[in-house]
Amino acid sequence: MADASVAGPVRPSQHMHPGHTRSASAPPSVLEESGILLPANRFYNEESQRINDRIDEELRKESQRRKEAKRKEIKVMLLGQAESGKSTLQKQFQLYYASQTLDSEKPSWKPVVHFNIIKAVKTIVEELEWEFSRSPGSGSASADDPDFSEPIDVSEAEREDLFSIRSRVLPLIALQDALASELSGGVSISGGRTGVFVRAGWQGLLSTASRNWTSTKPQVVANMAAKALNETQEDISLLWRHPVVKRMITLRKIRLEESAPFFLDNIVRISEPDYIPNTGKLRSTWSRGPSMLMTITDDVLNVRLQTLGVIEHSFPINLGGMMYEWRLYDVGGARGQRHAWIPYFDDATAIIFLAPISAFDQYLEEDARVNRIDDSLQLFTAVCSNKLLKKAHLVLMLNKTDLLQAKLKAGIHVKKYITSYGQRSNKYEEVSSYFRAHFVQVHKRKDTSGRALYVHFTSMLVSSVYLIVIRMQSQTPHE
C-alpha cells in the first residue's frame, strides 16, 4: 500500500493561492532558463529601457533643433534716445520683409496719423499766440538764448486773419489730450511729456476696436477727431500755407516734428472720411557701393509715436543663401526706460544704435538743459562700456542726415548750440565728420572688448534695411 504521506503530482493551484508568485530565492523554471518564458521583471525592464531610449532620442533631437534654430536666429536690439528713428527703422524692416503684416495694421494707424496732424496744428497756434503776445523790444527772451530773436512784423490784416483761423481750429486742438489718452490706453508719463505712448500689440487692439462696434472700448475720441479734421481741413491748409507761418518757420520761431510737413502737405487726402494710411511706396535707387537703398514716401513710416518697454518683431531674412530669423527689439529710448532692458539682452547678436545728428539744436523733452547730441553720446558710452552687451556686434547709424543738411542749408550754425565745435566750417561734410569722430572716440575709449564698430550715415527718407543686412553679412569694420 502506498504511504499516505506521499502524494502524486500536484497542480500548483492545489498548493498556491491564486495570484501568489514564487519567492525571489526560488530557482528559475526550465521554461524560464530556456527563454521560452520570460520573468515579468525582465520584460518590464526591457520595455522601460526602450521607452527611456525613445525619450532620450527625442530630447536629443529637440536639443539639436534648438541649437540649429539658435544658430539661425539673429537678435538685434534697436537702441537710441527717443525720436532717434528706431521705430521707423523697424517699420522699414517690416515693409521690406513682411509687408502683409503692415497692410493688416493700416486701420490702426489712421487715428495716430490724425494725432500727428492735430499736434502740429496746436504747435503752430501756440507759437503764434506767443509771438503775438510780445511787442518789439519787449525782451521777453534772454539774449543768451541761441534762438532769441525780436518779434516779427505782422500787419493788422494778417493778425486778424490768423486769429480767425485759430478760432475755427480750436475745437480740433481741444481733442489732442483725450485722443492721446485713448490711443495710449490711458498710459501717462511723468515729467510733463506729451504724445502717444504705445506698448507691444497696440495695433491689434486698435484694429479690433475699429472693426467691432460692440467693443467695450470703442474709439469715441478717434471718431470725433476724424470728423473734426474733415470739417477743418480747409482751415488747416490755410494756416499751414499762411505767409506769416512760413516766415516763422524759416526764422525757427515754429519748430514742428520732422514728419509734420509731410502730413500737413497731404491734409486734403488724409482728412477724407474713407482715408486709410498708405504703405509700400518704394523707389529704388543706387548709391556708391553694392548697397541698394529705397526712397520712401509712406504715411505709416512718417508717423511719430513713442515706444514704452520693448516691442519685438520677427522677419525671415536670407543671408548668403541661408534663411535666418531676425528678431528686432525696439527698445523705448526715454531716459526712465533705458536701464531696465539691459539684463535681458546679454545674448544679442547685434546692437543697432541710432544717433540723430540733426538734433544738434534740440534739447530733451525730459530735461530741457541737455542737448540731444550730448545725450546720445552719453547713452552710446553706456552701451559701449556695458559688459553684458560686449558680445554683440555694434552698428552705429548717424541718422537723419537729410534733416541735418536742410538745417545747415537754412543757415543754422552748429557752434551756437555746441560750443566745442568752434570755428569749423558749417558745411555738411565738416559737421558730419565732427559728430562721427566723437562717437568713434567714445567707442575707442569705452569699449574694452575689442569688437569693431560699423558706422553708417543714414537718412529718414531712405531705407537702410538693405544696407544693414549687407553689413551683417560682410562684417567689414570701419577702421
| DSSP assignment of 145-201 | STT--PPPP--HHHHHHHHHHHHHHHHHHTTHHHHHHHHTTT---SSS--S-EE-TT
**88 and 158 inside one domain:** no
Q: Is residue 142 part of a domain?
A: yes
Residue 169 annotated as part of some ligand binding site: no
| Cα–Cα–Cα angle for 450, 455, 459, rounded to 5 degrees | 155
Q: How many CB atoms lie within 10 A of CB 75?
A: 18
Residue 400 counted as an annotated binding residue: yes
Q: Is 112 annotated as a binding residue?
A: no
Identify how many contiguous H helices and E strands the chain contains and give both numbers: 18, 11
Task: Please tell me whether residues 293 and 249 are part of one structural domain.
Answer: no
116 and 247 both lie in a single domain = yes
**Was 88 annotated as part of a binding site?**
yes
Task: Lay out the sheet containing 462-463: strands in order across.
Answer: 282-286, 292-296, 462-463
Q: Is residue 383 part of a domain?
A: yes
Q: In this structure, are 120 and 159 located in the same domain?
A: yes
- Non-local (6+) Cβ contacts of 7 within 8 A are none
Let me know whether 460 and 417 are in one domain.
yes
**Percent of the chain beyond pLDDT 70?**
69
Tell me, yes or no, whether 224 and 326 share the same domain: no
Q: Are residues 246 and 289 in the same domain?
A: no
- Tell me whether residue 176 is in a domain: yes
Write down the residue that cell numbers 490784416 correspond to. Answer: 157
Residue 56, pLDDT score: 80
Sheet holding 310-319, edge to edge: 310-319, 322-331, 73-79, 350-356, 393-399, 453-457
From the list 36, 86, 126, the residue with the least C-alpha distance to 312 is: 86
87 known ligand binder = yes
Q: How many CB atoms lie within 10 A of CB 339?
A: 10
Sign of CA dihedral 40, 46, 47, 48: positive
84 is in an annotated binding site: yes
- Among residues 237, 270, 303, the one where a domain terminates is 270
Q: Is 427 helix (H, G, I), strand (E, B) or coil?
A: coil
Q: Which of 270, 304, 336 is the last residue of a domain?
A: 270
Query: Do the annotations mark residue 306 as ligand-binding?
Result: yes
Q: Does residue 362 have a known ligand-binding role?
A: no
pLDDT on residue 394: 94
Report the CATH number at residue 288: 3.40.50.300
Query: 406 φ, ψ to 5°?
Result: -65, -40
Residue where a domain stops, chosen among 270, 301, 316: 270
Please indicate, yes or no, whether residues 311 and 456 belong to a single structural domain of this protein.
yes
268 annotated to bind ligand: no
Neighbouring CB atoms inside 10 A of 255's CB total 14
Which stretches in the chain have pLDDT values below 70? 1-44, 63-71, 135-149, 185-218, 280-297, 308, 333-340, 460-479
CA R_g for the chain: 34
Quote the CA–CA distance of 194 and 362 in Å, as a whole number.
Answer: 17
Q: Determine the Cα–Cα distance for residues 132 and 66; give it in Å rounded to an integer.
A: 66
Query: Is residue 68 assigned to a domain?
Result: no
SS3 of 262, please?
Answer: helix
Q: Is 85 labelled as part of a ligand binding site? A: yes
* Domain match, 323 and 442 both: yes
Residue type, 267: I
Question: Whole domain around residue 140: which residue ranges?
Answer: 108-270
* Cα–Cα distance for residue pair 264/120, rounded to 1 Å: 8
Confirm whether residue 302 is marked as ligand binding.
yes
Report whether 91 belongs to an annotated binding site. no
Do the domain assignments include residue 306?
A: yes
Is 230 annotated for ligand binding? no
Assigned domain for 40 exists: no
**How many domains does the chain contain in total?**
2
What pLDDT score does 344 carry?
73
The pLDDT of residue 181:
84
Domain-located, residue 45: no
- Same domain for 197 and 337: no
With respect to residue 407, please indicate whether it lies within any of the assigned structural domains.
Answer: yes
Q: Which three cell numbers stand for residue 364?
A: 530733451
371 is in an annotated binding site: no
Residues 250 and 130 in one domain: yes
Same domain, 119 and 258: yes
Tell me whether residue 374 is annotated as binding: no
